Amino acid sequence: MAKAAELNGMPGPSHVLKMKREHGLTAEQEAQTQSVFRKMQREAIVGGKWLSAHN
């Protein structure tokens, strides 16, 4: 879904975190964005392992 969002001009959590000052994130918003990013990473790793096992 991150690729679809990116292709439609929506930044993913990693982009938001890289530009947190420009976006003016509060500490709470940064923490929430980091949480979303970590969840996406975990899910991507699981999905990648599943694809590798089923190729």
Spatial separation of the C-alpha atoms in residues 12 and 23, rounded to whole Å: 13
Average pLDDT for 6-29 = 91
Residue-level pLDDT at 1: 62
Task: Categorize the per-residue pLDDT at 37 as very low, low, confident or very high, splitting at 50, 70 and 90.
Answer: very high
H helix runs in 1-55, sequence order: 2-7, 13-18, 20-23, 27-53
Residues 6+ apart with CB under 8 A from 13: 33, 34, 36, 37, 40
Contact 33, 17 (CB under 8 A): yes
* Higher pLDDT pick, 1 / 10: 10
Residue-level pLDDT at 2: 66
Average pLDDT for 22-40 = 95
pTM of the model: 0.76
